[in-house]
Chain A
Amino acid sequence: MVKDYKVGDMAEKIKVLKETATELKRVSGGIQAVDRNVDRILASIKMLEINISDLVDIGIEHREG
């Protein structure tokens, strides 16, 4: 069965994840247990960008596969 991968929609959700994580770090008051875990979350979000969001930069909003 052919699947329709909604790349643009996924990229939007990834953007929200990144903004939320970044905002959490901004309001953490420097709590290391928050900041360091957010850094790890942001590293994982970067992998989502590599896998999905970067495709939007070349005009791919969805793909069938």
Chain B
Amino acid sequence: MEKYWNPVLETLPREQLQQLQLKKFQKILKWSYENSPFYRSLYKDAGLEPGDIRTLDDIRKVPKTEKSMLREAQGKEPFPYGSILSVPIEQVTEYRQTSGTTGQPVYHPETWQDWEWSAESWAYALYAQGYRDYDRVFLPFGYSVNIAFWAGHYAAEKIGCEVVPGGVLNTEARILKMKEIKATALMATPTYILGMADVAKKKLGLDLPKDLNIRKITSAGEPGACIPATKKRMEEMWGAKVYDQVGATEIGHWGYECQAQAGLHVLEAFHLVEIEDVETGASITEPGKRGSMVITTFDRFAHPCVRFDSKDIVEWSPIERCECGRTFRLLKGGVVGRADDITKVKGVLLAPTAIEEVVRDIPELGDEYEVVVIKKGDIDDITLKVEIAPDFKRDASAIEQKLAQQLRLKTGLRYSLEFHDYGTLPRYDVKAKRFKDLRAKE
């Protein structure tokens, strides 16, 4: 049996891999410039022409994008994808969307070719994790509007596996089905991998390593398999190898563990990953320094992803060549955090951007705001400071009511609200720090 999905690409010497990446970057940049009103406007405003990018170093001249820009662009025509869409809308064959964890979901169009690309990129990962045509792969997820494990399903089919969709079954039924059909592999989030193990043991009285045949698990959707203690717990509960896998709807699948489990391989034939210092923006190319990932996706054309600031905190591994023989570079410990940390307040996950969306959706409020979280005894206390736009000062009471109601609706939390005179809250030119978590870190 072959060791690699594509031995030619996966073992390409570094210099040639970088040549390939430059060519592919130039191609997607030109495509985006010529076919997406969003990108054309972004680059024209920056005075950038696609031909300006001649070396890998030149790539840093290209303006970055981020999720808020995608959200803004999707408010434009054509509905619902907006001005990033780079193909005639008739060519779109699949609708996906982000989970909306950090605010309004981003809609994602796929042409059939882009969808093939998604399955192809996953095939690289699954093959590296040992999936083969003799595997019976169980997918216990809700087949819905979010991308989740959809591409994993199609990639497993592409490899030749027998794929079993465990869609609307409940957890107990899923476990029993895996047992009944002797499934050999599964894909799920780490939370669910642990949850299923708990149900199997406590409700069904099963000893998973003995009673089931699952020997490899692909863990994606949230951190877990990159956290050694969590990975160990999952592997012991299931008697299976657990592999981390990372992707995002806007980016596609971009990183995976191979059977050596020595870190997260970046799928470098499909992406260019840059790491930037969170404070200075300086490029980090050496191991041992954490930074925010900026990523470009090659050969995915309907909704291009060029220099997307993913806010994922990552660092290069000191391992120069993985024992698996792949030359795709490794990240140490996978995605280790988020630059715009979503935080838990009063037990509720809170994205600062969700507050921003509420504040900026109320025209009577000024643009600036500040959120302060403190601990009062054992209880989190969250204060939102806002400014009332000058013309609306007399309506303070009604605005307060509207703001409190929207915050409760969109974030599920109650706030102490403070109204400040217009122009008195701090202003920022770059790197605004509007979210201040003053709780002592454990």
Which A residues have a C-beta under 8 Å from some C-beta of B? 3, 5, 7, 39-40, 42-44, 46-47, 50-52, 54-55, 57-58, 60, 63, 65
Contact = CB atoms under 8 A, between A and B. Distances in A.
A65 B8 contact: yes
B299 interface: yes
B19 A58 contact: yes
B11 interface: yes
B3 to A, nearest CB: 9
A55 B11 CA distance: 13
B342 interface: no
A58 B23 contact: yes
A65 B16 contact: no
Contacts of A50: 117, 120, 269-270, 299
A58 B17 CA distance: 9
29 contacts: A5-B7, A5-B8, A39-B112, A40-B112, A42-B113, A43-B112, A43-B116, A44-B116, A46-B116, A46-B299, A50-B269, A50-B270, A51-B8, A51-B120, A52-B8, A54-B20, A54-B23, A54-B24, A55-B12, A55-B20, A57-B20, A57-B23, A58-B19, A58-B20, A58-B23, A60-B8, A63-B12, A65-B4, A65-B8
Contacts, number: 51
Given A47-B120, A60-B8, A65-B7, 6 more contacts: A3-B7, A50-B270, A51-B120, A55-B8, A55-B12, A58-B20
B7 A55 contact: no
Contacts of A55: 8-9, 12, 20
Contacts of A47: 116-117, 120
B283 interface: no
B6 interface: yes
Contacts of A44: 116
Contacts of B269: 50
A52 to B, nearest CB: 7
B160 to A, nearest CB: 15
A21 to B, nearest CB: 13
B121 to A, nearest CB: 10
Q: By DSSP majority rule, is chain A's interface helix, strand, loop, or mixed? A: helix
B199 to A, nearest CB: 38
Interface residues of B, number: 22
Contacts of B20: 54-55, 57-58
Contacts of A42: 113
A50 B28 CA distance: 13
Nearest to B3: A65
Nearest to A7: B8
B117 A65 contact: no
A46 B116 CA distance: 9
Nearest to B124: A51
B94 to A, nearest CB: 12
A57 B16 CA distance: 11
Identify the 6 closest CB pairs spanning chains A and B, nearest first: A43-B113, A65-B7, A43-B116, A58-B19, A43-B112, A47-B120
Contacts of A40: 112
Contact of A58 (B4, B16, B270): B16
A39 B120 CA distance: 17
A47 B6 CA distance: 12
B112 A60 contact: no
Nearest to B120: A47
A38 B382 CA distance: 57
Contacts of A60: 8, 16
Contacts of B12: 55, 63
A38 to B, nearest CB: 11
